[in-house]
Structures are given as C-alpha cells and as structure tokens.
Amino acid sequence: MDGVLVDSFAVMREAFTVAYAEVVGAGPAPFDEYNRHLGRYFPDIMRIMGLPLRWE
C-alpha cells in the first residue's frame, strides 16, 4: 500500500442508491441502514435488510 487514503463514502452511497432504484424500484434507498451493517458479509446484509441477494 502506498499510504493513500480515499474517502469513498459519497461514491458508495450513490452506487447503492442507483443499484437500489434499478433492482427494487422507486422509493428512498435505505443507505443509512445498509451503512450500519458495513463490515458484515454482503449476503448477510441483504438478508437482514430483506433485499434480493443478486442485483443484476
């Protein structure tokens, strides 16, 4: 690692919001809830939040 740190929080929020709109549809993306679970295994987060595991 070269010591460069990047604050990617805003990009992560935007990516989640776009993916949520494409997969789930209209309505506010529950990013704050998603953020509370960061650090967990992604499939576990999706199950906890009641979201589809595959976002394609």
pLDDT digits (tens, 9 = 90+) for 10-52: 999 999 999 999 999 989 999 999 999 999 999 999 999 999 8
Does residue 8 have a pLDDT over 80? yes
Residue 1 pLDDT grade (very low, low, confident, very high; cuts 50, 70, 90): low
pTM confidence score:
0.79
Residue 35 counted as domain residue: yes
pLDDT score at 55: 61
Query: What are the distances in angstroms from CA 43 to CA 8, 21, 53, 54?
Result: 21, 19, 6, 9
Residue 42 counted as domain residue: yes
Q: Number of structural domains, the chain? A: 1
Residue 2 counted as domain residue: no
Does residue 56 have a pLDDT over 60? no
Residue 1 counted as domain residue: no
